[in-house]
Structure 1
């Protein structure tokens, strides 16, 4: 979830990146195992969000994972986002969130302005087993639901996914359908994003030691062009 994207443009580098993609065509399918951080595909966020500052230096690729660091005794987090836009299709990521109560890990599509177009999976970075699914379209939140995973998401890797079509939206965890909606669906291509951060609406202390949200891989299979 992004609030407010305009902060993302504070750095000159991001102004250049997004100016180049604002009118770009949709990107095709991809699979990224994060053997390295591919700057042709990904950029890093550099802005405040909730209680966090998303520091580009907190994002790297190491050991075959995309890592987002929460430094010890800090509310800092990190964010990676595609340079290109992506539309209808399936999106999946194998994720192990950091254990940092009061923070969340997001895997989502987003395009500015705020509330206009967004599809969210947000995993609570604690042992409560909560995950939140949300959509925004036409300048408003159209759906939101918090579900129980039935496991501690910080203990192991699990696959989080969604299918995005013009007339339906289905969220999955480890291949199991969790929620389907057929109304209130955004109708545009968006940037694919992953982040880990401390929202203002969640209570939690700074982590006592440095912890990492780790993403083993991300896959997108395109199915059709968006309007």
Structure 2
């Protein structure tokens, strides 16, 4: 079990917004070296790789004891964030906490990250009305405008992942991408490469979405999140919620950020080969 850290920083999401989340992932490398933008809103923490052999409390904050809004039918619980066998597991289960009938799990980085390659290797469970997400976010809780880059698995259909972004609080670039074999049958690699003039999403090394319109590109550094949560109200998006009758889980083997222009950090990294991917 991993205990929560002080100085809670809630992610403030409206219902319309919550058709968001599940982020995800900047990978810039195998490209000419470029310095991070010097503007204060784009300052970035250094590159890192976390394979969850231990829980780095200097990097991660565990959400605990609150929820994101009325759309969410669960309360974040630190007891559902666990580490074992070099694996991070986030859980969702029926357990009354405060005014919600279910408990769910989320972690977020304490630092913010800018242009570069973001990637995660993870596996989801199944279940209607649930959202397993890898994403980046910054917003009002940090006294910043709302920007977000998402990978969201709506586990009602584990054959697909939704990519999306929020630009100054408005949803952009939403698309469903196929995940061969399913998000629940094995581990898959989700990544995005965020550059000043381009944003690209990849699933298992395959480009699934690309954006170059300057009006649809994030301009503020963001925190990295993993979350598993449910909703009774977002039926059109997440499906009608049904009590799974068991603890549902989301497993993460690895997460990494490689700053733009920096060398790749492990052999399987998209940052090692992105220049050859069409």
**SS of aligned partner of 1:71:** strand
TM-score by length of 1: 0.84
- Asked if residue 37 in structure 1 is aligned to residue 59 in structure 2, the reply is no
- Corresponding residue of 1:179: 209
The 3 A distance-change label for structure 1 pair 166 and 53 is same
Whether contact under 8 Å (2:126, 2:158) holds in the other structure is no
Question: Which residue of 213, 216, 219 maps to 2:253?
Answer: 216
Structure 1 segment 1-227 matched on structure 2, within 5 A:
13-15=6-8, 26-46=44-64, 47-49=66-68, 50-72=72-94, 75-113=102-140, 116-183=146-213, 184-199=216-231, 200-201=233-234, 202=238, 203-223=240-260
Measured after TM superposition, the shift of residue 208 of structure 1 is: 1.3
The 3 A distance-change label for structure 1 pair 55 and 16 is closer
How many residues end up aligned between the 2 structures? 211
Measured after TM superposition, the shift of residue 188 of structure 1 is: 1.0
Whether contact under 8 Å (2:165, 2:173) holds in the other structure is yes
CA offset digits 1:34-85 (Å, max 9, x no partner): 0111111101113213222121221121111111011257632210100101
Larger radius of gyration: 2
Rounded to whole Å, the distance in 2 between the matches of 1:108 and 1:83 is: 14
Worse-matched range after superposition: 46-55 or 188-197: 46-55
- Corresponding residue of 1:3: none
Whether contact under 8 Å (1:97, 1:213) holds in the other structure is yes
The 3 A distance-change label for structure 1 pair 191 and 16 is closer
Rounded to whole Å, the distance in 2 between the matches of 1:27 and 1:100 is: 35
Q: Structure 1 unaligned runs (5+)?
A: 1-10
Whether contact under 8 Å (1:72, 1:211) holds in the other structure is no
Rounded to whole Å, the distance in 1 between the matches of 2:226 and 2:128 is: 18
Whether contact under 8 Å (1:107, 1:121) holds in the other structure is yes
The 3 A distance-change label for structure 1 pair 16 and 129 is closer
Measured after TM superposition, the shift of residue 143 of structure 1 is: 2.1
**What is the Cα-based RMSD across aligned positions, in Å?**
2.7
Measured after TM superposition, the shift of residue 17 of structure 1 is: 11
TM-score by length of 2: 0.69
Worse-matched range after superposition: 195-204 or 62-71: 195-204
